[in-house]
Amino acid sequence: MKPVLEIKNVTKTFPGVKALDGVCLSIYEGEIHTLLGENGAGKSTLMNVLNGLYKPDSGEIFIDGKHNIFMSPKDSIKAKIGMVHQHFMLVKNHTVLENILLSVEGLKSIFNKKAIRIQVEEILTRFNMDVDLDEPMWKLSIGTQQWVELVKLLIRDCRILILDEPTAVLTPQEAEKLFAFLGKLREEGKSIVFISHKMREVMALSDRVTILKKGTTVKSLTKGNFDENVLASLMIGGDEIPKWERAPKKIGDDILTIAYISVDNDKGLKDLKEFSMSLKKGEILGIAGIAGNGQKALSEVITGLKAPKSGTVILEGLDITRADCRNSQLSGIAHVPEDRKAVGIAPDMSVDDNLILKSYKDKKFIKYFLQDKKAIKQNAEELIDCYDIKAGPPGNPVRLLSGGNIQKVIIAREMSLNPKVLIALYPTRGLDIGSAEYVHKVIIDARNRNMSTIVISEDLDELLKLSDRIAVMFCGRITGVVDPENTTREEIGLLMSGSCDI
């Protein structure tokens, strides 16, 4: 069988970074092909070459055996290749239909608009997707936004679909739905390139896997010839995965007390309903729950991003219910937000400056009333080294970093504040195995120094390993608190679905 797409010896250099160094990849009809590799290995860059966004320095691309080089996304669209990016490319203020219309060509008259609406509705019915075409984009959940991205590819009848870490932002239920959808597309003979750091998914979905490391192809393996261990060791090579253990310790008294907090969202629904909970000094409190059950609102209230309608938040006797972000941070609260690009970084500023976004007023970064460039640079060098951030050349804007490396910048900055309390939402989202374990180790080490942490996650393995207690959230309330040593995934699952007496 001949590949539909063949990439040979593709090289791509950015200033100071060789992102791709002779990569080869073959994609066949009707297969799900996973690209696996550490943060910064070059996965997104390779896909952007295929998508016509980046022009390779050298190398060849063949479609159906015919030589091709994509000079722009237009060429790639013509070759029926489509991509859902790691960070979505949607116009938030436009409606769903308007966003879809933006991706189709030849939209000359109003009649076309009507015809396309009918086509889109057909696709939605065919794949059993529930999307309101007239809703503005910003109102949709991330999972639904992703359906819109996929509809954009289907309406163009793409035959090679690239999905860059699609499940990083999905709830487990949404991910299951996506997998069923990808299965259907495979049956229709479409080829899917799938990127993920979650081994369980990679094993469940992939017909073939290609492993990238530092911009080179390590190996391509066919189903039956790989398991999780084989893939992990090929991916990390000789590097060691950081090891850590949550040692038993005496947990202190309450440090953060949240009482009867209620919060309404933009749609007028209740995100938190008289929510009460307390965090103890030196403990890691895991919060399990399907995203969208009030977790984000909870983190926003604690970190000063949102004022609650009623209730109180008390940190060590200090009422911080109405404190703004700055005051919440000054009182000792750090925040790893859910949406790293929109809330976590200043995209155009350098990595060095992003690492002091919250501490630039600190004495150590000021000299003669001005910012002390030398101290800022030294701080960045230390954190980049410590967290193994692939930061590119000096002065590099943080938006040019790979997804996982942006996440590492945020975690490094927040931990460098030496907070009393860390509120971390999905802290290892998009991180490769080694980096995820390193972040866990950092949180455990800080626990040993008596930092208190709230980890909000959907990854039960992560919560069970890391937490001293696990609280489960459903519909803006806590449905139960369990001891990770004496619970089961089933018990947590039941609490997550609200099947309990509240």
Ligand X SMILES: Nc1ncnc2c1ncn2[C@@H]1O[C@H](COP(=O)(O)OP(=O)(O)OP(=O)(O)O)[C@@H](O)[C@H]1O
- Which residues contact Mg ion by CB under 5 A? 44, 86, 402-403
Pick between residue 19 and residue 50 the one whose CB is nearest to ligand X: 19
Tell the smallest beta-carbon distance from residue 85 to ligand X (Å).
Answer: 11
Residue nearest to Mg ion (CB): 44
In degrees, rounded to 5, the angle at the alpha carbon of residue 400 between the alpha carbons of residues 394 and 401 is: 85
Task: Kindly state whether residue 17 participates in binding ligand X, applying the rule CB under 6 A.
Answer: yes
Residue nearest to ligand X (CB): 404
> Which of 4, 36, 43, 120 is close enough to bind ligand X by CB under 6 A?
43
Task: Kindly state whether residue 44 participates in binding ligand X, applying the rule CB under 6 A.
Answer: yes
| C-alpha span between 27 and 7 (Å, rounded) | 9
Beta-carbon neighbour count of residue 118 at 10 Å?
A: 8
Pick between residue 100 and residue 162 the one whose CB is nearest to Mg ion: 162
Quickly tell me which residue has 């200033």 as its tokens. Answer: 15
Task: Kindly state whether residue 41 participates in binding ligand X, applying the rule CB under 6 A.
Answer: yes
Tell the smallest beta-carbon distance from residue 436 to ligand X (Å).
Answer: 11
- Report the interhelical angle of 403-416 vs 433-448 (nearest 10°): 10
Which of Mg ion, ligand X, none is residue 401 near (CB under 5 to 8 Å by kind)?
ligand X
Task: Kindly state whether residue 85 participates in binding ligand X, applying the rule CB under 6 A.
Answer: no
Sheet containing 270-280, strands listed edge to edge, beginning at the edge strand earlier in sequence: 270-280, 254-264, 310-315, 318-319
Tell the smallest beta-carbon distance from residue 51 to Mg ion (Å).
Answer: 13
| C-alpha span between 477 and 266 (Å, rounded) | 19
> Which of 23, 36, 39, 416 is close enough to bind ligand X by CB under 6 A?
39
Which of Mg ion, ligand X, none is residue 140 near (CB under 5 to 8 Å by kind)?
none
Residues in CB range of 325: below 8 A, 6 or more apart: 303, 304, 305
Which of ligand X, Mg ion, none is residue 295 near (CB under 5 to 8 Å by kind)?
none
Task: Kindly state whether residue 434 participates in binding ligand X, applying the rule CB under 6 A.
Answer: no
| C-alpha span between 211 and 227 (Å, rounded) | 13
Pick between residue 149 and residue 283 the one whose CB is nearest to ligand X: 149
Q: Where are the beta strands (DSSP E) in 109-177?
A: 160-164
Pick between residue 162 and residue 288 the one whose CB is nearest to Mg ion: 162
- Which residues from 368-427 bind ligand X, rule CB under 6 A? 390, 392, 400-405
Beta-carbon neighbour count of residue 159 at 10 Å?
A: 20
DSSP string, 419-457: -SEEEEESTTTT--HHHHHHHHHHHHHHHHTT-EEEEE-
Pick between residue 86 and residue 293 the one whose CB is nearest to Mg ion: 86
Beta-carbon neighbour count of residue 489 at 10 Å?
A: 12
| C-alpha span between 449 and 443 (Å, rounded) | 10
Sheet containing 208-213, strands listed edge to edge, beginning at the edge strand earlier in sequence: 81-84, 160-164, 191-195, 32-36, 208-213, 216-222
Pick between residue 86 and residue 299 the one whose CB is nearest to Mg ion: 86
Tell the smallest beta-carbon distance from residue 30 to ligand X (Å).
Answer: 25
Pick between residue 82 and residue 404 the one whose CB is nearest to ligand X: 404
Tell the smallest beta-carbon distance from residue 242 to ligand X (Å).
Answer: 17
Task: Kindly state whether residue 37 participates in binding ligand X, applying the rule CB under 6 A.
Answer: yes
Task: Kindly state whether residue 179 participates in binding ligand X, applying the rule CB under 6 A.
Answer: no
- Phi, psi dihedrals of residue 152, rounded to the nearest 5°: -60, -35
Chain positions contacting ligand X, by CB under 6 A:
14, 17, 19, 37, 39-45, 86, 390, 392, 400-405
